């Protein structure tokens, strides 16, 4: 998750591109394939098994109709792909479809080199109510849909059911509050096992704050106006940091650093009994553990009203400066990929959420849930999320830098820095970048 220094060198390229909205870009002709289909280039950052699943989606679309040919092109990490996109954005060489991670949302909007999918929704009077509101809302500003969610995930509490039984805890009743989490962690901590851990990663901190209804920045998380100040160092942020520090001081919390594989290995080897993970990683963890794996909702403070979770992952953006026919092809693919049949296969193949909840009624999903009941827990948590500025997530262009500041603050807790000092430093650093 190397999102720490992404946008520092991109601002100048966006300004240059903004100054050259050429007439030839607007009059770009659609590229056709040898069989007369309109070519729709799709830049993505999916590798390994995820790329295989993506290619299957593309192949199925291409075979379903005769007008368009989607061409998927792997462009490296999200950071690498976005850097390449900025070199061609707004020109005829821009991809018709661009996959960008969620923290790039504000940056993509501010680039003015994308075509909001709302234009096609309005043109066709397309009914978006069939899609999951809590996924769509992240990529909306003032009710306008800018991109199409694609690979979406949320955080979830993963726990060792066998360890729960051994510690005298109910394996079917995972902790839902901070107090319950601390009590369970104490019972689960032994000479060779630590009760709980979470990655030193800003995304999890953002989720813990939002679950309580807390905001990351002012102006409704940057959704009612440009943010001017980080506010995550308030009560909600202090609750989250106090939880980490108290458990670390009590030796019921393991510092696993910033590597996802190290964290999952600690769980699978029995060195830690509970941890926070992405919902998209559940199947892999369950397949590789020698014990029964449980999944539950993100814990919140005892006194807090649970708001829910923020969507993570990435979405699909439509390019600008390309032919109208190419844009139409991009839209047709997005609609196909969001259909219940395609989403059912996507959910089963990858573990990501279905943008279309009707997909969960498909037989292939029911069969998967019978084998992996943990997946249904993640879907239930998302469906019970309250739509609010907190759970929509923050819109800031400098998110990667802010996340690194939060990581530094988290790690400073292990060195004895106070919660207030650590959070204030991270918030001040974030505030200083907001105008950049």
Of 314 and 24, the one with more pLDDT: 314
Return the domain boundaries, the chain.
Answer: 11-153+311-383, 155-308+398-433
Question: Residue 3: its pLDDT value, please?
Answer: 44
Mean pLDDT, range 15-41, rounded to an integer: 61
d(CA 176, CA 338): 32
- Does 3.40.50.1820 match the CATH number of domain 11-153+311-383? no
Residue corresponding to tokens 């050429």:
22
β-bridge pairing 38-44 and 272-278: unpaired
> How much is the pLDDT for 34?
66
Whole-prediction pTM: 0.85
Fold match between domain 11-153+311-383 and domain 155-308+398-433: yes
Q: How would residue 20 be classed by pLDDT, with cut points 50, 70 and 90? A: very low
Confidence at residue 33, expressed as pLDDT on a 0 to 100 scale? 72
Tokens 């003032």 locate to: 142
Q: Which residues contact 201 (CB under 8 A, 6 or more apart)?
A: 1, 258, 403, 407
Contacting residues for 367 by C-beta, under 8 A, at least 6 apart: none
Report pLDDT for 4: 44
> Which residues, 6+ apart, have CB-to-CB distance to 205 below 8 Å?
232, 237, 240, 406, 410
Q: How far apart are CA 150 and CA 140, in angstroms?
A: 14
Nearest to 194 by CA among 146, 139, 255, 140: 255
Per-residue model confidence as pLDDT tens digits over 315-344: 999 999 999 999 999 999 999 999 999 999
**Between these two residues, 10 and 343, which has the higher pLDDT value?**
343
Is residue 355 within 8 A of residue 152, CB to CB? The reply is yes
Per residue in 358-387, pLDDT (tens digit) is 999 999 999 999 999 999 999 999 999 998
pLDDT band at 92 (very low <50, low <70, confident <90, very high): confident
Comparing 185 with 127, which gets the higher pLDDT? 185
3-state helix, strand, coil in the chain (%, to 5): 50, 15, 35
Q: How far is residue 75's CA from residue 80's CA, in Å, rounded to a whole number?
A: 7
CATH class of 155-308+398-433: alpha beta
Total residues belonging to the chain: 436
């Amino acid at each position: 998750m190397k999102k720490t220094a992404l946008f520092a060198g991109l601002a100048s390229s966006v300004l240059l591109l903004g100054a050259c909205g050429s007439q030839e870009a607007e009059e770009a002709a659609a590229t056709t394939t040898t069989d007369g289909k309109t070519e729709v280039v799709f830049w993505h950052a999916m590798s390994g098994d995820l790329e295989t699943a993506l290619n299957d989606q593309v192949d199925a679309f291409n075979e379903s109709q005769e007008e368009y040919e989607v061409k998927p092109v792997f462009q490296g990490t999200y950071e690498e792909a976005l850097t390449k996109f900025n070199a061609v954005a707004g020109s005829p060489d821009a991809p018709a479809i661009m996959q960008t991670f969620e923290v790039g949302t504000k940056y993509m909007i501010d680039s003015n080199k994308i075509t909001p999918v709302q234009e096609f929704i309005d043109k066709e009077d397309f009914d978006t109510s069939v899609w999951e509101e809590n996924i769509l809302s992240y990529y909306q500003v003032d009710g306008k849909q800018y991109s199409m969610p694609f690979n979406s995930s949320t955080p979830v509490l993963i726990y060792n059911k066998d360890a729960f039984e051994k510690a005298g805890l109910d394996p079917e009743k995972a902790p839902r509050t901070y107090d319950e989490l601390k009590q369970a962690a104490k019972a689960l901590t032994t000479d060779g096992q630590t009760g709980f851990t979470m990655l030193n990663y800003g995304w999890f901190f953002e989720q813990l704050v939002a679950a309580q209804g807390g905001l990351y920045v002012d102006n409704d998380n940057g959704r009612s106006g440009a943010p001017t100040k980080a506010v995550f160092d308030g009560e909600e942020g202090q609750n989250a940091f106090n939880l980490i520090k108290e458990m670390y001081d009590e030796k019921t919390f393991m510092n696993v650093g910033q590597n996802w594989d190290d964290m999952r290995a600690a769980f699978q080897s029995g060195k830690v009994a509970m941890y926070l993970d992405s919902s998209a990683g559940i199947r892999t963890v369950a397949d590789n553990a020698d014990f029964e794996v449980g999944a539950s909702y993100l814990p919140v403070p005892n006194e807090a009203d649970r708001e829910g979770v923020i969507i993570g992952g990435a979405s699909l953006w439509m390019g600008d400066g390309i032919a109208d026919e190419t844009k139409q092809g991009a839209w047709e693919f997005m609609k196909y990929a969001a259909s219940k049949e395609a989403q059912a296969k996507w959910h089963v193949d990858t573990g990501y959420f279905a943008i279309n909840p009707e997909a969960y009624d498909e037989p292939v999903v029911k069969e998967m849930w019978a084998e992996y009941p943990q997946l249904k827990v993640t879907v239930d948590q998302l469906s019970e999320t309250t739509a609010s500025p907190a759970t929509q997530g923050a819109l800031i262009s400098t998110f990667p830098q802010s996340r690194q500041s939060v990581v530094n603050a988290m790690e400073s807790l292990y060195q004895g820095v106070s919660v207030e000092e650590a959070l204030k430093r991270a918030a001040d650093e974030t505030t200083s970048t907001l105008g950049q």
